[in-house]
């Protein structure tokens, strides 16, 4: 056995080599408090094991004789021993089981949990294989890999993370995952410190440097749920939030060496669609792989039996209301004989909460009406919005409930018999262990059981406020919108009128998504922005709101309609249109819609929609560089940067540019014709030819 590697392994775990004058033996010692341990390792058949053992016993060492035939056995034994493999895996398995139990309690139906795999895409391509197989396969590759799982709030990110954890526990006997729900860590806002805290929580007896070493080796795969929570806490003011995420990504990048695997779940944010993130990925493409998985919205067919789907169709039930996993899981658990009655209730969301709260009264012997329970939960949600948190300590929530509801709870105590009457403190404890609340991670952090429940109570708070200029953090707006989608049209309209002021401050894609979800149309203006790589279905653009000074880049439109009168200075670049139509074909005003390199499946559609640029499109020479070309090249090599970017997203040249999109497009083609720029494998990017870097330096005046 290689003694040099043997010594390296033992010293990495904190051992010291013990000088010993015995034949064929090497000894490593470890002192921890009053415990003195020694590992005796025979290097040959003639090793003096007994003499070594007795000599070390005289020095008060607790001795263990280790017999290894190869270095891999040494690493495996040390890893399993120091990382308490069996105990740690059992603890993680209990976390998984607790997760399932909490979901079933939130549904009020025992045995209702079943992980349902929805449609997904991987790096922009439709996924065909079983999702969990794709992810676990990535954990078994020999390359450091970052896996991003993106989805809307409440659409399965956390469940997917737990299922990946369970798969690793079952299939990877030699690995011990580090699993963390980042939203539950309240001790720090800086990701590096949060991550170190999670290492200490998961492996309290080990040095963080050792754990990080094993992460890099791939022995400790990392699963971090809720990465976006920390991004939102940073309150970054930059365009896409990348400045706030960069230190976090830098910390993760430091781990992505050797054979490490890191999985992050996050909502789809501007950060991961922005140019800066893509540049970060491209900059590190030789160092590690990035697997970007986007989960689609759930479908009825994924969750319900054919009998229940037939019942929905017979009742002409608005199926699109059921695109939420919580409601679908609830309906899946409802017995067939009760299914139609559940659908016929006035509001399926109210029915869900009523069922759960009635059950809670029995489970905890809680003499509070469903309305009183709902009122307490709304108060907690209002406090969360006000102070911008989604989980807090048990002590804090007990103080909040006591402060707001002591009178109600004292009155409630009088409804119990003297033998069963709880104290005020006991009644408050019942509420902090309510089925709609749950403890997480370090047992000191309590939040709502899932995003749907959180969003429901946030929406309630907004509607109760009747504030037409309600402003709340984006952390609360998205789940509130998603939880309102299944409600009746009157509720959705009321909610939209209260949040549309706040929506004005959101990103353009969120404006479209929230408006379509609640109003079935775009009822909010879009201005001065660029949207790229998006798919739009069954939407009318310009019919109910103006779209002005806007660029759609590499977008796809299915079954969409366009009212040209309300499209002002709008440009479509590299877009595709399928079964689309123009609403005002007789509109006679001068068209202000530019079309550049688009495709259509219905001949004549593009001609009816706008005008295709016919401006002179020829390459300039070295002595005749236009201001637009200078602008583009400076995006590749901004002033003050020591070196140029090799890749840039197309959107960076159109977003916020003082030049009109058609001119930008022509300038890009000019630079392509001269060989300075090209289109790489990913068509939404441009690539700078570094063999022309001296020419670029000359053009930019940086050759001195």
Residue ending a domain, choose from 245, 271, 295: 295
- Tell me, yes or no, whether 64 and 94 share the same domain: no
Can you give the pLDDT at residue 431? Answer: 95
Can you give the pLDDT at residue 387? Answer: 92
Can you give the pLDDT at residue 236? Answer: 46
- Tell me, yes or no, whether 63 and 178 share the same domain: no
> How many distinct structural domains can be found in the chain?
3
Provide the CATH number for the domain around residue 681. 1.10.10.10
Whether residue 207 lies inside any domain: the answer is yes
CA distances from 142 to 184, 254, 288, 325, 669 (A): 32, 17, 10, 35, 40
CA 53 to the chain's CA centroid: 54
Structure tokens at 310: 């037939």
pTM of the model as a whole: 0.78
Report the chain's terminal Cα–Cα distance, integer Å: 58
3-state secondary structure of 394: helix
- H/E element holding 648? strand 647-649
Task: State the DSSP string of 207-274.
Answer: -HHHHHHHHHHTSS-EEEE-HHHHHHHT---SSSSHHHHHHHHHHHHHH-STT-EEEEEE---HHHHS
- Tell me, yes or no, whether 275 and 200 share the same domain: yes
Q: Which domain holds residue 35?
A: 3-70
- Tell me, yes or no, whether 100 and 179 share the same domain: yes
Whether residue 639 lies inside any domain: the answer is yes
- Beta-bridge mates of residue 294: 121, 150
- Tell me, yes or no, whether 266 and 132 share the same domain: yes
Structure tokens at 321: 């209301």
Can you give the pLDDT at residue 328? Answer: 86
Structure tokens at 620: 């300039």
Question: Are 628 and 259 a contacting pair, CB within 8 Å?
Answer: no
Dump pLDDT digits (tens) for 46-104: 888 989 999 898 888 999 999 898 999 999 999 999 999 999 999 999 999 988 888 88
- Tell me, yes or no, whether 253 and 196 share the same domain: yes
Residue ending a domain, choose from 261, 280, 295: 295
Please give the Cα distance from 245 to 272 (Å, whole number): 10
Provide the CATH number for the domain around residue 274. 3.40.50.300
Dump pLDDT digits (tens) for 198-248: 899 889 989 999 999 999 999 999 999 988 777 655 544 445 555 666 777
Can you give the pLDDT at residue 345? Answer: 65
- Tell me, yes or no, whether 41 and 137 share the same domain: no
- Tell me, yes or no, whether 121 and 164 share the same domain: yes
| H-only helix segments in 520-660 | 605-609, 627-636, 651-654
- Tell me, yes or no, whether 45 and 144 share the same domain: no
Regions of the chain with pLDDT less than 50: 235-238, 442, 614-619, 621-623
- Tell me, yes or no, whether 205 and 260 share the same domain: yes
Can you give the pLDDT at residue 474? Answer: 81
Can you give the pLDDT at residue 682? Answer: 63
CA distances from 51 to 19, 43, 694 (A): 14, 15, 72
Residue ending a domain, choose from 295, 316, 339: 295
Whether residue 348 lies inside any domain: the answer is no
């Amino acid at each position: 056995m290689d003694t040099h590697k043997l010594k390296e392994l033992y010293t990495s775990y904190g051992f010291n080599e013990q000088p010993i004058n015995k034949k064929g033996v090497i000894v490593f010692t470890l002192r921890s408090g009053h415990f003195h341990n020694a590992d005796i390792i025979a290097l040959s058949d003639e090793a003096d094991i007994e003499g070594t053992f007795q000599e070390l016993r005289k020095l008060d060492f607790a001795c263990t004789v280790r017999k290894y035939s190869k270095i891999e056995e040494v690493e495996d034994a040390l890893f399993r021993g120091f990382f308490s493999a069996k105990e740690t895996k059992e603890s993680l398995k209990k976390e998984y089981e607790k997760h399932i139990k909490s979901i079933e309690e939130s549904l009020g139906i025992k045995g209702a949990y079943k992980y349902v795999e929805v449609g997904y895409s991987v790096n922009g391509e439709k996924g065909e294989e079983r999702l969990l197989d794709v992810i676990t396969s990535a954990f078994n590759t020999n390359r450091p890999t970052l896996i991003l799982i993106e989805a809307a709030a409440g659409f399965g990110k956390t469940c997917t993370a737990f299922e990946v954890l369970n798969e690793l526990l079952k299939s990877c006997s030699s690995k011990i995952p580090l699993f963390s729900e980042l939203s539950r860590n309240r001790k720090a806002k800086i990701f590096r410190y949060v991550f170190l805290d999670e290492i200490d929580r998961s492996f309290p007896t080990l040095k963080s440097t050792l754990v990080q070493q094993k992460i890099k080796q791939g022995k400790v795969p990392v699963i971090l749920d809720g990465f976006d929570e920390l991004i939102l806490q940073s309150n970054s003011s930059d365009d896409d939030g990348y400045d706030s995420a960069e230190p976090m990504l830098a910390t993760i990048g430091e781990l992505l060496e050797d054979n490490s695997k890191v999985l992050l779940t996050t909502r789809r944010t501007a950060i991961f669609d922005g140019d800066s993130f893509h540049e970060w990925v491209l900059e590190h493409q030789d160092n590690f792989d990035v697997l970007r998985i986007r989960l689609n919205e759930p479908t009825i067919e994924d969750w319900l039996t054919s009998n229940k789907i037939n019942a929905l169709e017979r009742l002409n039930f608005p199926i699109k209301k059921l695109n939420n996993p919580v409601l679908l899981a609830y309906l899946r658990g409802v017995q067939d004989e009760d299914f139609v009655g559940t659908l016929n209730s006035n509001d399926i969301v109210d029915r869900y909460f009523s069922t759960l709260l009635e059950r809670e009264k029995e489970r905890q012997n809680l003499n509070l009406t469903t309305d009183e329970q709902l009122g307490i939960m709304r108060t907690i949600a209002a406090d969360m919005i006000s102070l911008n948190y989604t989980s807090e300590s048990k002590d804090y929530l007990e103080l909040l409930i006591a402060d707001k509801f002591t009178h109600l709870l004292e009155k409630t105590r009088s409804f119990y018999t003297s033998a069963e009457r709880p104290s005020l403190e006991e009644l408050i404890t019942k509420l902090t262990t309510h089925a709609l609340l749950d403890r997480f991670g370090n047992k000191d952090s309590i939040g709502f059981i899932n995003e749907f429940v959180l969003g429901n109570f946030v929406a309630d708070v907004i509607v109760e406020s009747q504030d037409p200029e309600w402003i709340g953090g984006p952390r609360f707006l998205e789940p509130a919108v998603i939880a309102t989608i299944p409600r009746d049209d009157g509720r959705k309209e009321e909610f939209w009128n209260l949040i549309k002021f706040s929506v004005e401050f959101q990103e353009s894609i969120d404006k479209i998504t929230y408006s379509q979800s609640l109003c079935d149309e775009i009822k909010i203006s879009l201005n001065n922005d660029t949207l790229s790589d998006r798919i739009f279905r069954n939407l009318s653009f310009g019919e109910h709101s103006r779209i002005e000074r806007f660029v759609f880049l590499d977008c796809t439109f299915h079954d969409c309609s366009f009212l040209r009168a309300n499209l002002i200075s709008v440009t479509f670049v590299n877009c595709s249109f399928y079964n689309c139509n123009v609403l005002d074909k007789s509109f006679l005003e001068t068209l202000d819609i530019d079309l550049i390199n688009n495709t259509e499946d219905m001949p004549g559609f593009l001609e009816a929609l706008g005008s295709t640029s016919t401006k002179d499109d020829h390459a300039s020479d070295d002595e005749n560089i236009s201001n637009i070309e200078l602008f583009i090249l400076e995006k590749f090599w901004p002033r003050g940067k020591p070196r140029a970017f090799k890749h840039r997203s197309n959107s960076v040249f159109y977003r916020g540019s003082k030049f009109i999109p058609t001119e930008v497009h022509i300038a890009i083609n000019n630079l392509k014709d001269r060989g300075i720029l090209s289109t790489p494998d990913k068509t939404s990017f441009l690539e700078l030819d570094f063999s022309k870097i001296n020419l670029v330096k000359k053009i930019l005046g940086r050759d001195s």
